[in-house]
Structure 1
């Protein structure tokens, strides 16, 4: 059994979960579930980033202590994970003592090695982004981009990490590890960023300006800034489980790839004598109805409410089916309902109901053994073998949207097989050959449904469980053994009916 460690970015608690947070968790969950199905021993980490000036200000504005504010918002992220059936092993919070301890240990280690020094800094500072800015961050007309909010010029003493001296090491590391960033074209962006000299990294804030942070172990008048706090959490979670380090995949949004996770993080780990992660997976952004997602303009989706209305697995399916990993995509109710009705209700749901209905109608609710088969059955079996092999390769390459397309093409082919065999006609015949063919047909569609379902647990865990349940089937412990055409459903008692994807009756939980 191979150990497999996968992490997500930790979400900043200055706001409630949105569609982007939901997608990142579901995407990572699909990978984690697939690796478990393949037999790996998976450790799946997610969590929240709870320190910083914006949290301190938000708590003050709300009139509550920062810790209380963090407790309340972090619970929203926990609830989202539970709601979306996320199978994380651990949920880390940067205010936890286990995390603070590791951060202080690493900071002291680097300070003792001379990797951290104190210097006076004069420059422009963005409170909104909690970062110092350079002239290259300005717009062409000299103004500051709106993303930075109010920008002020300040002079203060701070501690700096010797980032620049590791620049050549990182460039060489990226060249030796061409798959360090997925998709690969994102790795080129990292190297382009590294074409310019790096500045040493400011890693502290004076406590007189920011109290809500982890105090530097070598100077109590300062707290550590986000880089040596948030980025350390992935290591914190498995420090007592060294068999899982380094992380196999770290899943993040493309906006925080460069420089935080692709530059600062590996260099920080290198300086600490810790092996860097094996790979970063940078996913794209969702727009809503063709426009940028924004609560202020009302253009947003509440993932929890959407899941309540349409079902968790329907939302999971749409997000994974609609977005090519690494690319941007658009979330619209029109497209969601198109996939919901055509692919889930009318294709998969229809196949389930036809299988149950005809097995009950013509075989007393018990799946019969196939008595004969010809080229029609063999054609469907060959399609299954092709589908299975393609889907496994697509899952390995994170091409989940195409894997689902292939899976549902097989479901479509199974429905077409039913039309070709027309069991409702065979059931009216008293001819022995027709009756034998009827049994073969019922056995074939049940087995095809079982196999299609076997490809779905990573994306639609609840739906897969329900379908197996109505087929009277309990999958075995070794998932790959489930992917071979067989007679294992013979004699199973099926349910009378199942409504997996009911027709929506009320307006969607989507604002525009």
Structure 2
């Protein structure tokens, strides 16, 4: 058994029960599950909590529009979210709903405690209110006259409310953040919170509402309901047994949380409001809040009217649970937003899952049966190349450990697949089909197959946290089991004389791109029909004419100054092989030539591109797209239909001219 490393309490943000989550929302629960499974394998006693946030004005309005009660509405949506979380094989220990009776009872106690000790006071609020975000804003906080968080319209509002004295604890929180550098991760999120919110000074926070009724009533002033963040954030302690009058053993064991895993858009609430609430309750702060990036639909905004929303259940139906998990875990960068498209999923499925992993297991099992009736024996007929394989395999554990200690999950999976890549190379190096022709080399052939089975077993054991169903299928085919974590740097534990299955089962069969495209068109048509039925054809057109984009984090002028924009001239361009969307341009920027890959093949031919003057982001970190290196970005505008147009200077400007 792995060494017992103590408790590990982790949570996701609780999903807002306003509608069915798309794959960008679902990414968080898959990421959290991979971390929880990995921590269990390492030897931690993991308690993993998730759930749904079910109160607020937006839900009350949606329920009224459907002619049902808010409780009926959230019962339906929470059930849908619960079903999707189970569909993607998440191994949570507790699923909280903020309409749970025990949660509501504890929130009332918390509100009263904070009021009694003078942290909450009654006043009135006048400002500009954003209903989707359930937030008040001052005029100076708006961006282009709209909500700075979501970019939607705000309306003037005034109402009596209770407020929390945030400024009372601000200096204490600043000191804590400075003394605990791992508290907010990645570091860029910490800098944003400090510079944009804490250091300029905190305003007191509205913690009750009277303009709607769908919330937890304030016991001593029942016309007020507890405002969303004091309700939602406290779920992390209420559902493990916190009680101002005396907490449970489960709470005393698990608090403080070791990890709050949340989206980058709600870092402020979890790293400013939440720790201040905890300070007021005299409770320890969580050890780490990790704000992960977003998973975005590549090149287009997600919209049902356009039929391009990607849902987890569609991905699972078409590719399977583990292929869905693999894509979102492997393709998401540590800090920057990731991109998902149907084409990218197919490409990754065929190249990594089918070719690298599926083919490896199939070949190994097939050769074991063909040459030795499925019996895998260690013969010690070794060769120098064996040591190279064993070195890669036994070093993989430490590399995965290092990546996972910093929550670099995508990098950890890459290390696991490096084991499988090395196994494929080992097959090419040892040529078992040639060894099989020489009776004198059968011991050597047996040793080669033993080394492959042992290596795949270790690789599958490391893979188990990320793709548990696939790992289990591999263990079944090799007639073995998941290796104990502490033994994953040891080679040779597979029992000599074991027999693999007689007929291998292909883990991932290559996909037909055209068949997938056909299914995608059916999904698109269905979404558009559902949107039209719900909103009417005229409203659907009106919605498409309006352009709302996902708001990004605020940046400082210093952040902007880091970006280098220049005029470039395209001197050559060609289509990227095996991609329907990408063009590869050679762009002259001053005296340099940069190779830039862009997803604009639908809108420009390579011939049209040559000679154009364009705007270039020059200091973007190089990355490979469809296997081709890209050294910058061409700036484009996008209309409501998702059509792209290159941005170009209004007047003739020389190549290399700075855009400021």
Cα distance change on mapping 1:284 and 1:292 into 2, 3 Å: farther
Structural mapping, 1:161-180, within 5 Å:
161-180=164-183
Query: Aligned partners of 1:391 and 1:116: how far apart in 2?
Result: 46
SS in 2 for 1:220: coil
Query: Aligned partners of 2:487 and 2:149: how far apart in 1?
Result: 55
Structural mapping, 1:288-437, within 5 Å:
288-431=297-440, 434-437=441-444
Aligned match of 1:454: 461
Deviation (angstroms), 1:486 = 1.1
- Contact 2:218 / 2:224 at 8 angstroms: preserved in 1? yes
Aligned match of 1:39: 43
Which stretch has the larger CA shift, 283-292 or 478-487?
Answer: 478-487
Aligned match of 1:88: 92
Structural mapping, 1:133-282, within 5 Å:
133-140=137-144, 142=145, 147=150, 149-192=152-195, 193-206=197-210, 209-239=211-241, 240=248, 241=250, 242-258=252-268, 260-282=269-291
SS in 2 for 1:455: helix
Deviation (angstroms), 1:493 = 1.5
Deviation (angstroms), 1:19 = 1.1
Taking structure 1 as the reference length, what is the TM-score of the superposition? 0.95
SS in 2 for 1:334: helix
2:13 is the counterpart of 1:9: yes
Structure with the higher fraction of residues in helix conformation: 1
SS in 1 for 2:499: coil
Deviation (angstroms), 1:389 = 1.9
What number of residue pairs does the alignment pair up? 505
Aligned match of 2:496: 490
SS in 2 for 1:159: strand
Deviation (angstroms), 1:21 = 1.8
Query: Aligned partners of 1:354 and 1:384: how far apart in 2?
Result: 19
Query: Aligned partners of 1:415 and 1:380: how far apart in 2?
Result: 10
Cα distance change on mapping 1:148 and 1:374 into 2, 3 Å: closer
Query: Aligned partners of 1:126 and 1:447: how far apart in 2?
Result: 58
Aligned match of 2:537: none
Deviation (angstroms), 1:300 = 2.0
- Contact 2:460 / 2:482 at 8 angstroms: preserved in 1? no
Aligned match of 1:108: 112
Cα distance change on mapping 1:153 and 1:430 into 2, 3 Å: closer
Which stretch has the larger CA shift, 328-337 or 29-38?
Answer: 328-337
Deviation (angstroms), 1:334 = 2.1
Q: Which of 44, 59, 78 is 2:63 aligned to?
A: 59
Which stretch has the larger CA shift, 113-122 or 277-286?
Answer: 113-122
Deviation (angstroms), 1:137 = 2.4
Q: Deviations over 1:158-216 (max 9, x none)?
A: 1111111111111111001111111112111111121212111111111xx21110001
- Contact 1:370 / 1:441 at 8 angstroms: preserved in 2? no
- Contact 1:309 / 1:504 at 8 angstroms: preserved in 2? no
Cα distance change on mapping 1:15 and 1:390 into 2, 3 Å: same
- Contact 1:213 / 1:223 at 8 angstroms: preserved in 2? yes
Query: Aligned partners of 1:315 and 1:483: how far apart in 2?
Result: 28
* Structure 1 unaligned residues grouped into runs of 5+: none
Query: Aligned partners of 2:177 and 2:359: how far apart in 1?
Result: 49
SS in 2 for 1:229: helix
* Structure 2 unaligned residues grouped into runs of 5+: 242-247, 525-641, 643-660
Q: Deviations over 1:205-234 (max 9, x none)?
A: 11xx21110001221111011011001101
Query: Aligned partners of 2:101 and 2:389: how far apart in 1?
Result: 57
- Contact 2:349 / 2:510 at 8 angstroms: preserved in 1? no
Aligned match of 2:573: none
SS in 2 for 1:45: strand
- Contact 2:159 / 2:209 at 8 angstroms: preserved in 1? no
- Contact 2:30 / 2:325 at 8 angstroms: preserved in 1? yes
Aligned match of 2:445: 438
Cα distance change on mapping 1:120 and 1:464 into 2, 3 Å: same
Query: Aligned partners of 2:104 and 2:63: how far apart in 1?
Result: 20
C-alpha RMSD over aligned residues: 1.7
Cα distance change on mapping 1:189 and 1:374 into 2, 3 Å: same
Query: Aligned partners of 2:179 and 2:493: how far apart in 1?
Result: 49
- Contact 1:454 / 1:483 at 8 angstroms: preserved in 2? no
Deviation (angstroms), 1:340 = 0.9
Query: Aligned partners of 2:224 and 2:41: how far apart in 1?
Result: 46
Query: Aligned partners of 1:182 and 1:77: how far apart in 2?
Result: 27
Aligned match of 2:477: 470
- Contact 1:126 / 1:151 at 8 angstroms: preserved in 2? yes
Deviation (angstroms), 1:143 = 5.7
- Contact 1:53 / 1:210 at 8 angstroms: preserved in 2? yes
Deviation (angstroms), 1:146 = 9.5
Cα distance change on mapping 1:409 and 1:56 into 2, 3 Å: same
Cα distance change on mapping 1:190 and 1:139 into 2, 3 Å: closer
Cα distance change on mapping 1:144 and 1:362 into 2, 3 Å: closer
Query: Aligned partners of 1:138 and 1:116: how far apart in 2?
Result: 26
- Contact 1:128 / 1:150 at 8 angstroms: preserved in 2? no
Query: Aligned partners of 1:182 and 1:147: how far apart in 2?
Result: 22
Query: Aligned partners of 1:148 and 1:344: how far apart in 2?
Result: 39
- Contact 1:246 / 1:277 at 8 angstroms: preserved in 2? yes
Query: Aligned partners of 1:356 and 1:280: how far apart in 2?
Result: 44
Query: Aligned partners of 1:415 and 1:128: how far apart in 2?
Result: 51
- Contact 1:126 / 1:148 at 8 angstroms: preserved in 2? no
Taking structure 2 as the reference length, what is the TM-score of the superposition? 0.74
Which stretch has the larger CA shift, 119-128 or 70-79?
Answer: 119-128
2:80 is the counterpart of 1:71: no
